[in-house]
Chain A
Amino acid sequence: MKSSSFALAKDALSSLRDLLPIIIVIGVFQVFVVKQPVSGFASLILGGLLVVFGLAFFIYGLKMALFPIGEALAHALAKKGSIFWLFAFAFVLGFGTTIAEPALLAVAAEASEVAVDAGVIAATEEARSNYALGLRLVVALSVGVALLIGVFRIVSSWSLPVMIIGGYILVILATTIAPAEIVGVAYDSGGVTTSTVTVPLVTALGVGLASSLKGRNPMLDGFGLIAFASLTPILFVLLYGIVLAWT
């Protein structure tokens, strides 16, 4: 118990150190450049403290739960030797964590407004929620597919740079034929898919898998899953826009 509270205190100290740059930047700009009084000083201090402790708790829990789980599952799946379950796991993990992502909900709602303004869909509540739901499904599907491809790459040891750069070339091609109003949304959705909980889990999965398979280097083959998860949503949403405009 004593050692765990010691570890927690250490995490709190290091998260204070992590936040120091922000405090310095905002402080310096506030005092020397903007020179305007800031209201609500007490709530700023309180918020700062909450950020420090929240971050410390998160990192502590990360090392205790998310990392071990991700790796234990990867090892167990590799040992089981069933490619089907490995792929099923990767797909469901990507799809499941993305469909409920709050940032995606916000972007999808905003995108449906843009679509109404651009006259792509009718200005009714039903059309709007259908569009937003369609977008969320497409993005969630794309992250599921991304993890599936990423896991396939780890198993098959294909070249990551070739796959990623090939993917971006497809993105550029799709951008040229996609309707203009979907492009902004598409590029945005690549950024919102990788949440704070998904990233540690997916990283642990990749590294765990690469280290339990023979002849794979965890550094070379374990990373790269996040890269796929940021690429495929752009492509899928562009294609979604092309299909919608076409029909």
Chain B
Amino acid sequence: MDLILETFRYIASSAFDVLPIAVFLFVFQMYVIGRRFPNVRQIAIGFVFVIVGLGLFLEGLELSLFPLGRLMAQQLTDPEFLEATRLTVMGELGWQDFYWVYLFAAAIGFSTTMAEPALMAVSIKANTVSGGAVGVWGLRAAVAIGVGVGVSLGCYRIIAGLPLEYFIGAGYAVVILQTTMAPKLIVPLAYDSGGVTTSTVTVPLITALGLGLAEAVPGRSPLLDGFGLVAFASLFPIISVLAYGQLAVLRHRADQPAAEIAVEQEEQDHAL
């Protein structure tokens, strides 16, 4: 019974998030465009699916993934656990003693990004627009690898206590360098993937990890060091997606003209 009530609560709150947008879109369509939407029924049903789906998804996360993720972040940064699995023989814990944290950070960053709904939306679109040249799975895997590496490196930064600006500055220098060399078509998509990753699933989990770490490591402040992980998680996907584009060019040099023709073809279709 509680569960059903709870489910309604989640669906109601997602309706509150979605409805203002829906109302704005309908009003704009009616009064500015001055025409009703084609197949209103289908769109209304689609909105119901979006609202119910988002509600169930968030409730499911609260029930399973979030408590589990927070618990594991806590357990992996527990002084007792760190003491038991350390690599260095004695004295204070060195940065390398946190190897399970790095592994977990990379694995959880990768896997939660694969499940990020906003990223799926962008990948589906990119796949259609590029005429299949950008694979749905390829793009998502590229972004997920970027987030995994980013979060892992971000954990290292918290533990080692290095300034955030060095990493972010160096990261953007790499982005600038890659932008000049990567195929032009991938660049806007790569820049977008930075913002897309920090959404519903990934942020709460990596924030929990960052806070746990900042509390476990002596001399770190949760307030000052907790936010760095999100910045890492938005920067590294840009690098990995640009790299994905560069790799694709290297591997399919012969296919590249075909992909460009597909894009041009679609452009012409729209123009007609």
Are A and B associated in one complex?
A: yes
Chain B proximity mask over A94-124: 1 for CB below 8 Å, otherwise 0: 0011001111000000000010000000000
Judge whether B198 is part of the interface by a CB distance below 8 angstroms.
yes
A224 in complex: contacting residue of B50, B55, B188, CB < 8 Å = B188
Chain A proximity mask over B60-81: 1 for CB below 8 Å, otherwise 0: 1111110111011001100001
Q: How far is the CA of A92 from the CA of B76 in the complex (A)?
A: 44
What are the residues of chain A within 8 A of B125 when measuring CB–CB?
67, 200, 203-204, 207
Interface size on A, residues (CB 8 A): 101
Judge whether A149 is part of the interface by a CB distance below 8 angstroms.
no
Binding-face segment, B86-94, B109-117, B247-255: B109-117
Q: How far is the CA of A56 from the CA of B70 in the complex (A)?
A: 25
A54 in complex: contacting residue of B37, B60, B271, CB < 8 Å = B60
By secondary structure, the B interface counts as: helix
Q: Are A55 and B57 in touch, CB under 8 angstroms?
A: yes
Q: Are A18 and B120 in touch, CB under 8 angstroms?
A: yes
What are the residues of chain A within 8 A of B114 when measuring CB–CB?
18, 21-22
Interface centre among B43, B58, B67, B117 (most CB of A within 10 A): B117
Q: Are A48 and B54 in touch, CB under 8 angstroms?
A: no
B76 in complex: contacting residue of A15, A34, A54, A229, CB < 8 Å = A34
Q: Are B52 and A57 in touch, CB under 8 angstroms?
A: yes
Binding-face segment, A126-134, A189-197, A238-246: A189-197
Whose C-beta in chain A lies nearest to the C-beta of B16? A100
Q: How far is the CA of A164 from the CA of B124 in the complex (A)?
A: 24
Q: Are A72 and B37 in touch, CB under 8 angstroms?
A: yes
A191 in complex: contacting residue of B111, B198, B226, B267, CB < 8 Å = B198
B residues 195-249 touching A (CB-CB < 8 Å): 195-196, 198-200, 203, 223-224, 226-227, 230-231, 233-234
Chain A proximity mask over B19-44: 1 for CB below 8 Å, otherwise 0: 01100110011001101011000111
For chain B, the bracket of interface size reads 35 or more
Q: How far is the CA of A219 from the CA of B132 in the complex (A)?
A: 12
B21 in complex: contacting residue of A46, A97, A221, CB < 8 Å = A97
Q: Are A89 and B28 in touch, CB under 8 angstroms?
A: yes
Q: Are B61 and A51 in touch, CB under 8 angstroms?
A: yes
A211 CB to closest chain B CB (Å) equals 4
Judge whether B257 is part of the interface by a CB distance below 8 angstroms.
no
Q: A38-B68, A223-B191 are in contact. Are A161 and B179 (CB under 8 A)?
A: yes
Q: How far is the CA of A61 from the CA of B118 in the complex (A)?
A: 13
Q: How far is the CA of A21 from the CA of B106 in the complex (A)?
A: 12
What are the residues of chain B within 8 A of A26 when measuring CB–CB?
65, 68-69, 72
Whose C-beta in chain A lies nearest to the C-beta of B33? A76
What are the residues of chain A within 8 A of B21 when measuring CB–CB?
93, 96-97, 197-198, 201
A222 CB to closest chain B CB (Å) equals 6
Q: Are B188 and A66 in touch, CB under 8 angstroms?
A: no
Chain B proximity mask over A203-247: 1 for CB below 8 Å, otherwise 0: 110010001101011111111111101100000000000000000
What are the residues of chain B within 8 A of A102 when measuring CB–CB?
13, 17
Q: How far is the CA of A129 from the CA of B179 in the complex (A)?
A: 42
Judge whether A160 is part of the interface by a CB distance below 8 angstroms.
yes
What are the residues of chain B within 8 A of A185 when measuring CB–CB?
227
Interface centre among A18, A58, A97, A204 (most CB of B within 10 A): A58
Q: Are B64 and A51 in touch, CB under 8 angstroms?
A: yes
Q: Are A25 and B64 in touch, CB under 8 angstroms?
A: no
Q: Are B24 and A196 in touch, CB under 8 angstroms?
A: no
Whose C-beta in chain A lies nearest to the C-beta of B186? A219
Q: A22-B65, A44-B64, A76-B33 are in contact. Are A30 and B199 (CB under 8 A)?
A: no
Q: How far is the CA of A51 from the CA of B13 in the complex (A)?
A: 16
Q: Are A59 and B104 in touch, CB under 8 angstroms?
A: no
A interface with B by C-beta (< 8 Å): 15, 18-19, 21-22, 24-26, 29-30, 33-34, 36, 38, 40, 43-69, 72-73, 76-77, 80, 85, 89, 92-93, 96-97, 100-103, 114, 160-161, 164-165, 168, 172, 175, 184-185, 187-188, 190-201, 203-204, 207, 211-212, 214, 216-227, 229-230
4 tightest Cβ-Cβ pairs between the two chains A and B: A65-B46, A47-B63, A57-B53, A47-B64
Q: List 26 A-B contacts (CB under 8 A).
A: A15-B115, A21-B114, A21-B115, A26-B65, A26-B72, A34-B76, A38-B68, A46-B63, A54-B52, A55-B117, A58-B57, A65-B42, A65-B44, A68-B43, A72-B38, A96-B21, A97-B21, A191-B203, A191-B233, A194-B198, A195-B17, A199-B122, A221-B188, A222-B188, A223-B188, A227-B192
Given contacts A47-B60, A168-B172, 9 further A-B contacts (CB under 8 A): A26-B72, A64-B45, A100-B20, A102-B17, A103-B203, A161-B191, A193-B195, A197-B18, A225-B192
